[in-house]
Amino acid sequence: MKEKGLPAKTVLKEIESRLNKDFTFNSGKVLGSMCTNPHDLAKEVYARFLEKNLGDPGLFPATAQLEEEVIQMLGMLLSNPKATGNIVTGGTEANVLALWAFKNANTKNGGEIIVPVSAHCSFDKAASLLGFRIIRVGLNGKFQVDIEAVREAINHKTVALVGIAGTTSLGVVDPIRELSDIALEHNLLLHVDAAFGGFVLPFLKEIGYEAPEFDFRLSGVSSITIDPHKMGLAPIPAGGILFRNSDLRKFITWKVPYLAGGEIEQATFVGTRSGASVIAVWALLNHLGREGYRRIVKRCMRLTWKLTEGIKQIYGLDVMTEPVTNVVGIKSDIFNIKLIAEKLRKLGWAVALFPRHIRIVLMPHINEKHVESFLKDLRNIVRELKG
């Protein structure tokens, strides 16, 4: 730090020129991210209420009330208006909180959590923090968790199962009904990670796509992660953790006595936390409503299928599986997919690379022209590789 500060104008200019090197969602080049431009209203609201601290809700009771309403609205979206929970920093914290509650509710010593190999790495972080052993089970031909493998992995140490509703790599949904039945049969907890799918799956049926079951309607589901900062269009940070009721959540509820607003009970990992995030989510849920989100999902799904059809027409390329949500996996049995990803990156496309495929997420910042321009570059790369 310098002894004497710089004028605000100079600092802003410097920041603008330094941040020029970052990708922007508006460029249409970011095809591999599950985040997007926050909605304008959410940006405005977020910037207006930066001082709100939900770590001290006694000082901000009105903001705390908005969080309760957000959880109720998300609960309704996930078929359970009685759900309890919090807006947290993201999917990672939400998944950790679910497993933390499972750990404290667990009467067994140690314990195992059965998780699909497709699960996000936040479950490894959670297991490492909480002393659980993660048992990773394989997938079926549709890249969903193999239900027979789940059954085989269950033993006296098993504490819980995890199902994914919108996998990180391909956006597919595990057979959550079957997982729910198994959880009930064996008296296990079941966490559903719908960090990505939570703002997509509830709208699919209404716009004519197949909509796999995944939410609290299935009585074995104990908790769900749903992230407003992915397909919810909220500013970062905004993840969501919802428990079926307060039974599990009470295991991660702590008294915090020292606050200016008076003693509280807190069920989040962090103390001081953003009220602005919560207010922004409240604004979006009320402004967009189901109708607004349905429109956004419809547009993303249309582009998902446009890209899918385009890829199928390129020699040597195919999709890993038919898309379920707005995620497409591009594979090739002929060309080296890593080389294709490198060439795409050289052309400025920010794509995500997985061991056997390139992941494209058709987020709201992508439009028709971006998809066409990407397909054109992909065709040229393949032509060049063919020689």
Ligand X SMILES: Cc1ncc(COP(=O)(O)O)c(C=O)c1O
Rounded to whole angstroms, the Cα distance separating 138 from 229 reads 29
Q: Return the range that interacts with ligand X (CB under 6 A); candidates 5-13, 161-169, 206-214, 341-349.
A: 161-169
Q: Return the range that interacts with ligand X (CB under 6 A); candidates 74-82, 193-201, 214-222, 359-367.
A: 193-201
Rounded to whole angstroms, the Cα distance separating 160 from 102 reads 7
Task: Give yes or no for residue 227 binding ligand X (CB under 6 A).
Answer: yes
| Least Cβ distance, residue 171 to ligand X (angstroms) | 9
Choice between 87 and 301, CB closer to ligand X: 87
Q: Which of 32, 55, 75, 90 touches ligand X by CB under 6 A?
A: 90
Cα 41 off chain centre by? 21
Residues between 234 and 253 that touch ligand X (CB under 6 A) = 239
Choice between 25 and 335, CB closer to ligand X: 25
Task: Give yes or no for residue 180 binding ligand X (CB under 6 A).
Answer: no
Rounded to whole angstroms, the Cα distance separating 348 from 13 reads 25
What letter would DSSP give residue 36? Answer: -
Q: Which of 39, 52, 120, 365 touches ligand X by CB under 6 A?
A: 120
Rounded to whole angstroms, the Cα distance separating 226 from 196 reads 7
Helix (H) or strand (E) segment spanning residue 385: helix 368-386
Q: Return the range that interacts with ligand X (CB under 6 A); candidates 181-189, 190-198, 335-343, 374-382.
A: 190-198
Residues between 34 and 53 that touch ligand X (CB under 6 A) = 34
| Least Cβ distance, residue 350 to ligand X (angstroms) | 14
Q: Reduce the DSSP state of residue 348 to 3 states and report it.
A: coil
Torsional sign, CA 343, 348, 354, 359: negative
Choice between 103 and 120, CB closer to ligand X: 120
Rounded to whole angstroms, the Cα distance separating 11 from 374 reads 36
Choice between 317 and 330, CB closer to ligand X: 330
Rounded to whole angstroms, the Cα distance separating 112 from 134 reads 6
| Least Cβ distance, residue 259 to ligand X (angstroms) | 27
Q: Which of 265, 276, 215 is nearest to 243 (CA)?
A: 215
| Least Cβ distance, residue 227 to ligand X (angstroms) | 5
DSSP 145-205: B-HHHHHHH--TTEEEEEEEBS-TTT--B--HHHHHHHHHHHT-EEEEE-TTGGGTHHHHG
Neighbours of 353 (CB within 10 A): 16
Q: Return the range that interacts with ligand X (CB under 6 A); candidates 86-94, 103-111, 311-319, 356-364.
A: 86-94
Cα 153 off chain centre by? 26
Tokens 């402004």 identify what position? 287
Task: Give yes or no for residue 122 binding ligand X (CB under 6 A).
Answer: yes
Q: Which of 32, 55, 85, 91 touches ligand X by CB under 6 A?
A: 91
| Least Cβ distance, residue 231 to ligand X (angstroms) | 11
Task: Give yes or no for residue 92 binding ligand X (CB under 6 A).
Answer: yes
Number of residues that bind ligand X (CB under 6 A): 15
Task: Give yes or no for residue 195 binding ligand X (CB under 6 A).
Answer: yes
Helix (H) or strand (E) segment spanning residue 224: strand 223-225
Rounded to whole angstroms, the Cα distance separating 368 from 387 reads 29
Task: Give yes or no for residue 174 binding ligand X (CB under 6 A).
Answer: no
Rounded to whole angstroms, the Cα distance separating 24 from 45 reads 21
Q: Is-contact 362 300, C-beta < 8 A?
A: yes
> Going by DSSP bridges, is the β-strand pair 84-88/133-137 parallel, antiparallel, or unpaired?
unpaired
Task: Give yes or no for residue 274 binding ligand X (CB under 6 A).
Answer: no
| Least Cβ distance, residue 201 to ligand X (angstroms) | 12
| Least Cβ distance, residue 334 to ligand X (angstroms) | 29
Task: Give yes or no for residue 370 binding ligand X (CB under 6 A).
Answer: no
Choice between 225 and 308, CB closer to ligand X: 225
Task: Give yes or no for residue 170 binding ligand X (CB under 6 A).
Answer: no
Neighbours of 243 (CB within 10 A): 28
Interface positions with ligand X (CB under 6 A) = 34, 90-92, 95, 120, 122, 164, 166, 168, 193, 195-196, 227, 239
